[in-house]
Structure formats: C-alpha cells, structure tokens
Amino acid sequence: MSKSAKMMKTITLSTALVALGASLALAETPAPSREGGFGLGRAALPEEVAAWDIDIRPDGLGLPVGSGDVYTGEELYIDNCAACHGDFGEAVGRWPVLAGGYGTLDGEDPHKTIGSYWPYLSTVWDYVHRAMPYGAAQSLSDDDVYAITAYLMYLNDMVDDDFTLSNENFLEVPMDNQQAFFMDNRAETEYAVFIGEPCMTNCATSVSITARATVLSVTPETEGGAAAATPAVAEAAAPAATAVVEAAAPAGPDPALVAAGEGLFRQCASCHQIGEGAVNRTGPQLNNTFGAPVASHEGFRYSPALQQAGESGMIWTEETLTAFLLDPRGYIQGNRMAFRGLRSEEDAAAMVAYIRAAGGEAK
C-alpha cells in the first residue's frame, strides 16, 4: 500500500471514530420531552428573522422608506411584467389579469383585478416585492416596487399619470372594493345554526327532477322541446344582431372586419371604453373618434404631443388611425400611450372597422 493510500485510510478511520463518538454523546443526552420540544434546531438569529419578516400589513406596517412614480413604473413593468401580464395588465395566456374588471363582480364572468376586487394596496406591494418578477423574485429594489405599484394603480384608473407613490401617501388612495370585505363572523352567525338540531318536520314526501337545462344560458326545455332564451340573453342578442345588420349596409365597414376588431379590442379595453355609456378612464373613450380631430374628446387630459397633433389639424381617418395603431409612439412621438402597436395591417384594418362600427363617426 502506498504512503498516500495509508494516509487516506487513517483519515477515514479517524472521521468514523469522531462520528461514532458524537452519536454516543447524543444517546447519553436524551432529547427534551414533547412539551419542551424535540431537541432539534436552534433559535433563529435576528438577521434571519429580519430576512423572513418582509410582509406588509393593510395599515402600512412594514413598508420601507421609498417612492416611485408612474412613468418609471411603466418602464419597469414593460421590462419585467408585460411578457406575462400584457402591456396593460390584460394578461397573456393563463397569467392573471391585473387591470379592468369594474362592474363585473356581480355578473356571470367576474374579472377579479387589482382595481375591481383587491381590498388592500399592501397586498399589491407585498406580492410584487416578495414573488415578482417570475424567475427573479426579490430582485427589485424598494423604489422599483413603489414605481410598479404606482403604474398598476394608474392602469386601474386609481391615480393620474403624474402620481408618485411613497410610504408617506400609501394609504391615501382608497381601493374601490375594500368596503365589500369584512371580518369573518361565521362563528357568531352560522356556527350555532350548523350545530343545532336539524328540522325534521314538514319534509317533502318525494323528490323528482322536473326539467333539465341543456346549456347554461337558457332556461330548461319546455314540454314542446324548445329551449327558450332567458330575457337577459335575448336582450343582449338583439343589439348585437342590429349592429351586424347596420354594419352590413354598403356605407359601413365590413362585418367580418368588425368581428375581428372586436376580438382585438380586448387588449385595449383595460384603458379605453367604446359604445353606449363609454367614459374616459386611463385612456379616452373612443365614441365618435373616426373622422374627429386628434385629442378632441372633452374631459380627457391628453399628452402635449397629441394636443399638438390635433392643433395642427390632424384628423383620425382610416390612414392616420392605421398608422397610429401600428406604431403609436413612432407615429406621434412623445405621446403617453404605452401600447406597442398592432402586429399587422390586417389587424389595424379590423380595429379601425370596429371603432367605426361600435363608436360611430364624428358628425
């Protein structure tokens, strides 16, 4: 056996003896009882507790000193968040939608977003800080998190584009749905009912199925076999049918383009509204946009770039709308629209057709 091999054997034997001695020492000192613990682990160091204790409470407890504005948040959001959540929080694929959804919580398809559903802004800050961006959690600085949170507030029409969020004004902007949340009171209101004696009187003598719904949007089939549409479905279908008839008129846009544009408009709906009851939100409402001067809708604060374009006489025609939709920031440089542009001229033509059909034309 070589000298090096003998040395290695000696080291291995010594290591085994040390391990055996440690095991015997542990056996001689039994672990504390269950009440006193299991004799495992150690008390966490203050530095370890501080690293884990990063949650932010609804009252702002735990917020670090810092600030961030909407514009900075927009750039950070595009770089770190848009790939999953969309340019305007509309989501890509199965990722959560972050913006919009107002007025949908009592409907069949509620959109639970930061603006429509979340009760506390602290949840936004905490989650972005703790878990985002995907694959690089906790890589953002505190100021970055403030800026992204401010931009998410802007996407949800909670603040203006010149807003700066900080630890000092964090609680000043209320969440729209906060009043719909309340403390769990089931122990007082339901528990007594559940543990009480069940009612066993006046029970039905038999149970039978009287009808079955064939699809969710219709009432059960009648005796004649026809399924009658619910009033809500019938009312919703009537305007749609009317719109198609109107769009099919020779002077109107191609109905196929209108239908395609309606699908594309979903990526715009987080900022813009169109149709009956449309109002200005993050972006201006788009009724009577086609044929109107640029930046002409009342009540909306346009960027200086768009105002200057309107003052120079630019009109929203098929040509100008198409060019703008394909490259918003390149066509009118300096405007604040964050959307990067539609992918093709075919998509732009469909969007223009939908804007004309759903929003009408300027008189």
State the Cα–Cα distance between residues 339 and 344, nearest whole angstrom: 14
Confidence band of 256 (pLDDT split at 50, 70, 90): confident
The answer to whether residue 93 scores a pLDDT higher than 70 is yes
pLDDT score at 238: 45
In contact, 311 and 218? CB cutoff 8 Å: no
> pLDDT per residue over 267-278, tens digit each?
788 788 999 989
In the block, tokens 């919009």 appear at 100
Sign of CA dihedral 29, 30, 36, 41: positive
- Do 317 and 291 form a contact (C-beta atoms < 8 A)? yes
What pLDDT does 274 receive? Answer: 93
CB environment 192-209: b (16+ within 10 A), e (fewer): eeeeeeeeeeeeeeeeee
pLDDT for 292 beyond 70: yes
Domain ranges of the chain: 67-180, 240-359
- Cβ proximity of 159 and 173 under 8 Å: yes
Quickly tell me which residue has 């694929």 as its tokens.
93
Residue 151: pLDDT over 60:
yes
Residue 339's pLDDT is what? 75
Confidence at residue 108, expressed as pLDDT on a 0 to 100 scale: 85
Task: Give the torsion through C-alpha atoms of 8, 9, 10, 12, to 10 deg.
Answer: 90
Mean pLDDT value across the chain: 81
**Helices marked H in the chain — which ranges?**
3-28, 46-52, 70-80, 82-85, 121-131, 142-155, 186-189, 191-195, 231-247, 255-264, 304-311, 318-326, 328-331, 345-359
DSSP 63-115: PPS-EEEHHHHHHHHHHHTHHHH-TTS--STTSPP-S--TT-TTSSS----TT
| pTM recorded for the entire structure | 0.51
Q: What percent of the chain has pLDDT over 70?
A: 79
Buried b (16+ CB within 10 A) or exposed e, 230-239: eeeeeeeeee
CB burial class (10 A; 0-12, 13-18, 19+) of residue 271?
buried
- In the DSSP assignment, the letter for residue 198 is P
**Do the domains 240-359 and 67-180 match in fold?**
yes
Tokens of 134: 């995907």
Under 8 Å between Cβ of 234 and 217: no
3-state SS assignment for residue 165: strand
Distance CA 159, CA 153 (A): 6
pLDDT 10s digits, 152-191:
999 999 999 999 999 999 999 999 999 999 888 888 888 8
Q: What is the DSSP letter of 151?
A: H
Q: State the pLDDT confidence band at 225, using cuts at 50, 70 and 90.
A: very low
Number of neighbours of residue 115 by Cβ within 10 angstroms? 24
Q: Among 61-75, 117-131, 305-319, where is mean pLDDT lowest?
A: 305-319
Phi, psi of 361 (to 5 degrees): -120, 150
User: What number does CATH give the domain 67-180?
Assistant: 1.10.760.10
Cα dihedral 12, 16, 22, 24 in deg (nearest 10): -160
Measure the CA–CA gap between 269 and 277, rounded to whole angstroms: 14
pLDDT at residue 246, as a whole number: 43
The CATH fold assigned to 240-359 is Cytochrome Bc1 Complex; Chain D, domain 2 (1.10.760)
